[in-house]
Structure 1
């Protein structure tokens, strides 16, 4: 700045002086030729030049000095700042110096690292080329390097076919939007993200791949190292595995037994089929946890502890043969009790316990029914044996009577009174034998289901009178009173039903009443209830004990009870009555008190003529 100003000032002075000398003399001589005037004007011209040049020099010097002072002030301020900085620098100099050696060592390490980085970059390319997966490097989403595996994956022959292209140029066009979003996610999240895309190869084939990314430096620039793992086969395998799992789950859900899976070291079930949930009768969510399972399924605390102790003790042995529990009573959410059998199967190598359960409630009921049927069959056999023993006696009695009195009829000199008596006895024995054969045949028809209902119109009062004629001699012989109560009009007593079966019903009930009554009365009551006829046969006989009321209608029952020996009969009459009442869609009730009498009430649907 100093030399420039001096040059500037000198140049101005020389230029002004030269111009003044050159033009001022011409100006003076243009006014006058007088030498004296010219001399004076030359003097004035010199003074004028001095004043003008002095004033100009003053202005230039003042401007320059002003700038110099401003610069000096700035330099002073900067110098003061520099002094303060030097003080601080001096204060930290020791600290920086102490770190210098460390920085120096680190710098040397950085130089070594730089050399290694150069080597590593070369090694990286070698590793990429030798890697089993498809790998490429991209900068700003453009491929700058690709290994042979990626070229094979995309079915291209030369690396130039993929360089400077975007990865999105090789994706399934039908899934471009979603795949682009995934690739952007991969770039943003790097190694923290794994995405799956579908490549579209050069030959228009589709390849499923799993991509991961690592941020690296390549040729001094930020880049992405992207790994593409071909998962097409794996995906097909997983789809096949999923299909097989669905198939297995379908089979498991259709099994007639419940199945659940548990981990040995976990308290929750990992799987339950539909039958398992159905058998236990609780929502799946309430059966998953083992504690909740026992609390819900076994609400009774005492029984729950008993079951848990038994199961835990057997499981602790590790012996699968002991992990089998039968006839366990469970409670469903509805409150219904069920009986189940459970079997646990430990799979040690898979850390899994398979729990199976089967509902045996119906099986137990069937077993109970079979047992009851077995007992009933055995009882029936006993009753049949008793019946056969009794029926042989019942057959022999009238046959012996017939044969004996026939022989007596052929004796000579037999009086007419005795002959009539013997004929009456033969007739009575024949009727008894006919009734016995009829009852036996009817039982056979009932048991084989070959009997039919034949409805027709008839007078019920005539039917009662017919029964009365049959049993009047027996009633008079035992000195019983026969009471008939039929307070109905003749029109109401004209009904439509199976006359034979209704006759047999009334006959057997009256027969029983007369047979088991030694004194008192036998009463026949007939009434109507809407479309039903009500028949009551009452007596004052020996009655029926409460414990055998339920079985009096069973076939052959009387033979087993021993009544036939004391009162006669074959034990099939009430069975026929009950069977005929059922065939006619009616009902029969029994009221009895031992040693006071019995009342049978029959209600049958009938139609008025």
Structure 2
């Protein structure tokens, strides 16, 4: 998953400030152009309105007499003003008395004056022109005009309108020039603001960039000896805090380095001690294994001789008068055989510890192994009055038949020893590429917390029971070692006073055996 790169603080500040300042400058430029245009337009209207009023005052005589000759001087005077387009007089009979200008403009004026109105001055702003119509009146206090004309004209009555038309081209050009000047000013101001903001952001973020580069460098602790220069008070506080943190880290690293050196020295000493202890333990274990192997071998040879002599004596007593000694000899023979089993167990255990136990693989019929096991434990079944329930399955295994037989005999013998007047059940079934043997009894059971410990060498769950039933505590340890040597596993399930179940799983095929090993 790709990680998105976040923009720098400088870029974020520029993104925030530049558009805001550009919008502000642009807004001010637009307002300046609008205000300039409005002021220019109002100034033009004010000037033309004054001209129209002056034109109306000078046109009283021309409208009283209805003479175009009297209007000519005033009309010629109006033509001298800038942006002049047309001028004329409108009589009170709604007739155009005189007009100087193009006919189209005069027609536009006629349409505008057709609308009734009572204003002294009327102004129309069209796209290209400004039309003005100022009412021409005779004032009551105009004594010189009344005496001169010797007319009995009523005072304050409109005689008509003085008409003026001015072009807006120069005004629009001025507005356009103002717009260009404003745009130039805005562009210049934007460039100045851009330069100013960029420099300000650069100066503001430079200390942060320097501090960030130091913090990101591999040797940042050594570079942190000098503070960053410039920047705001907050940046200075961050720099000082960073220096304090770097100093604390350096101090901590020095302490950790010294502690590490002490630990390495202590570990080196302990390692040498442990190596010496391990070598001593290995030597002791080797000597113990050699001792067990030698002593069991030395004990087994005379014990086998004793068993042989007991058999010989027992056979000879059958033909003499001392046949009542046969029971004692049989008892001695059984004890000797039990002792031989224990010695053989010690010998097997010493071989396993020395790594000299080997597998002798061959094709093994499960039914034959079970039959041999039943023949061997039959005396135990009879002595404890036990019932045997076997559910066999015809299978062939590629395994060590002797070790498999010893595993089953060990488990079945334990089941017989710890069960009184109950049932021993042996189930065999195929599960995948494994053959599973399940040996269950209805005996005294085992505490579930001790199930894992029962496979340890020389461990016995109940000392008193073990003394009654005999044994060295090696049977289950040897059983697990044999099963694991054959590429299988052994587990136990049990509850106190509810019996026990031991499950042995061994591979069926040679391939599965090699894979598990």
TM exceeding 0.5 = no
Q: TM-score, normalised by structure 2?
A: 0.41
Q: Larger relative contact order (C-alpha < 8 A, sep ≥ 6)? A: 2
More strand by share: 1
